[in-house]
Structure 1
């Protein structure tokens, strides 16, 4: 992100605070009908609010909710989690999948201009963008202990949030539900889906959620696989020489990030001993595929943070049956990327992987048109 983009975000967030001053109780929401920088009334329904979770609602989670611009009763409902961890959902709202975009090309330091995003996912789905974990964006805790966060706590908070949100919005209980996110949210998304499946629906808890699947973009999934594929990926892009790559491969045996676990002196010197939450969610994907949940895994093919090669490797390790082998997918007659389609067994689980040609770590930000076409086809079970 450029410096002026940070300035834009800061200014808009400060303006949004004016609306949030009206919200001072748990489970409260307001309808935002206009925004500074956007000419006239907003052409979509934007709701913002808080939902309290945890003991005594000590964690107040903030959300943006945009109703589908097409068919609210029939279109899917999506819970979107931005990565980081710690990136505000606001970035998803204005830089990735939301109905608004900044006119940053003509920004001169004054009030930024907003314009409609022609490739917003809200044209075909109702979307909740959640500030998670606590402390992200406008989400806050009323106690110091409430600010403790971990992958498992974020998962539980997201589940409790959805429970309460649906009770407050009963008209959406029957809509198809998908959990989605990118980057670090690649860890949290499958954990939330399994929490809904095991902890809620199968346990008979109310409300029952109509979750059908999940989507993750450039997802952090398995720390070892994600990191170890950076060197082969850099070699494929021509960023490192053949000679350097062969020396690294020979010396490290494919393990480029972890010194020997027995060499504690080295580990301490490199500050590599640290607590982690969930190192890998590979097993979650295995369980969810067996349960028959639909999954869309997409990767910008120019992402060095989570190279698509590592993502493709752990997907292959799921040992699913290839239904539609590696092939290009198109938008307006141009190659938009490459895709693979898997099944767990006949008529069970549709697991789709897609690259987005020319996209970086947050694919919809780089290639909005192509990502909109991708998600539109996937929602309708139409092959990419």
Structure 2
């Protein structure tokens, strides 16, 4: 092991930019976990500087798996996943004010069982930046290339984690990126790239996978949860022949029926169908278009609306605190953010879409390729979201034609049904799929206890 570490270090010529963070504004006392932040340069001449948060496992860092976490979007910060989904601290809303957010520990953090790197990717996300304007032009394929390069360099700088089981993970739009990174790692290992990564598989939540089928499933899901009537669904299905995405504009019956479907769903919070929809969100979403409005909000609108509309409570109001906190200069100093590299931290930077090329519309074939590898996959869906309905996710999983190892059945947390799961296999490949009962987009934000139980059992190779 020592010889291996020496060889890796001897081969590396990577500028180290990392800092240990022991305290944070808004958190009382020293942090009870190990937090590291830093930048790693990727691309030609390291012109893209990717920022990351690394948190060691609170259990056994040297033995527990290493997860690379990519928040969706594209353009949503790793800090969003850390604060609102799976990280060890979040906001104490009861003791926070608009101008002074306070932090508290998250008892259901995934760092209870894993080491996690939260990466601000692609460039322009969170605190990641580029040294040239041209380097802000990016794409799905370039994000994959840069994430792979980042991970290789990070492991060279952290050789003590080279042998830890590695899982690539993320949610929402990251479903288009994660399986390709996993394929890249397997291919890189086969090609002899150093360091050799101990890749074991991937974890995906509420993943966008097939832009056509995932969005096409929204109409079926809306009917299944009684957002549209039986009569409207059957008429729409018949007139549109089950195709709600590539609609012939001359098919007036289909076009008009889809307008009725959108009228029935436009007042629904697509991220969680039983939670209130906030008036501060814009633009008005279309059920049959891919948009990130569920993850985006205008912080100015939130600041203006929050004191005027104390009721009903809307989840998006929670996101205001991240803008105030992450843009505080004392916070940025504590996180060791390089001065002058960004003008404003945004939870989800929608301006990335102007310089982003969407190379892929369907990544099912990458999942299919991985079924021939010694690989484990965990895929989960909140069953109360309509952004990426579980119906569409089940459809592409079924298209992999895997062998059923464990039939569809409920799983439990503290004696209550936490969701429904099945396990599928192909020789050395194992895929566990589960719904999270009551979960939204994305599930850990809505059901943190259940999602931690899911991950910890799966990582330990236990049944859910």
In structure 1, what is the equivalent of residue 168 of structure 2?
Answer: 179
CA distance in 2, matches of 1:92, 1:210: 24
**Quick check: 1:222 aligned with 2:304?**
no
Higher mean C-alpha displacement, 306-315 vs 287-296: 287-296
Could you say which residue in structure 2 is the equivalent of 1:40?
A: 29
Who is 2:189 aligned against?
Answer: 201
**5+ long unaligned stretches in structure 1:** 1-24
Q: Normalized against structure 1, the TM-score is what?
A: 0.88
Question: Which residue of the partner structure matches residue 357 of structure 1?
Answer: 437
Distance 2:249 2:124 in 1: 33
Residue 327 (structure 1) aligned with residue 409 (structure 2): yes
Q: Equivalents in 2 of 1:262, 1:148: separation in Å?
A: 37
Corresponding residue for residue 149 of structure 1: 138
Aligned to 2:138, what secondary structure does the other structure show? coil
Q: What is the total number of aligned residue pairs between the two structures? A: 350
Task: Check 1:261–1:319 CA distance in 2 against 1; reply closer, same or farther (3 A cut).
Answer: farther
Question: How far apart, CA to CA, are the structure 2 residues paired with 1:361 and 1:344?
Answer: 29
1:69 equivalent to 2:58? Answer: yes
* Aligned twin of 1:381: 461
* SS of 2:177 mapped into structure 1: helix
- CA drift of 1:259 comes to 2.5
Distance in 2 (CA, whole Å) between partners of 1:279 and 1:262 is 25
| Residue 236 to residue 51, structure 1, CA distance change in 2 (3 Å) | same
Shift of 1:171: 0.4
- Quick one: distance in 2 between partners of 1:137 and 1:176? 27
1:212 aligns with 2:200: yes
Match of 2:104 in 1: 115
Q: What does residue 9 of structure 2 align with?
A: none
For 2:25 and 2:358, the matched residues in 1 are separated by: 41
* Conservation of the 8 A alpha-carbon contact between 1:27 and 1:52: no
- Equivalent in the alignment of 2:231: 243
Shift of 1:250: 0.5
Runs of 4+ with >4 A deviation: 260-263
Q: Which moved more, 1:25-34 or 1:92-101?
A: 25-34
> Could you tell me which residue of structure 2 aligns to residue 164 of structure 1?
153
Q: Which moved more, 1:110-119 or 1:61-70?
A: 110-119
- Structure 2 CA distance for partners of 1:262 and 1:138, relative to 1, 3 Å: farther
Verify the 8 A CA contact 1:331 1:370 in the aligned structure 2. Answer: yes
Instruction: Spell out, residue by residue over 1:291-321, the C-alpha distance to the aligned partner (whole angstroms, 9 max, x if none).
Output: 1310000000011100000000110010000
Partner of 1:20: none
Contact 1:329–1:336 under 8 Å retained in 2: yes
Instruction: Give secondary structure in 2 for the equivalent of 1:219.
Output: coil
1:289 and 2:386 are equivalent in the alignment = no
Structure 1, 109-118 or 320-329: larger mean CA deviation: 109-118
Q: For 1:98 and 1:162, how far apart are their aligned partners in 2?
A: 20
Gaps of 5+ in 2: 1-13, 256-285, 290-355
Residue matched to 2:394: 312
Separation in structure 1 between the aligned mates of residue 249 and residue 185 of structure 2, nearest angstrom: 36
Match of 2:314 in 1: none
* Deviation for aligned residue 1:324: 0.2
The residue number in structure 2 matching 1:21 is none
Q: Give the drift of 1:111.
A: 1.5
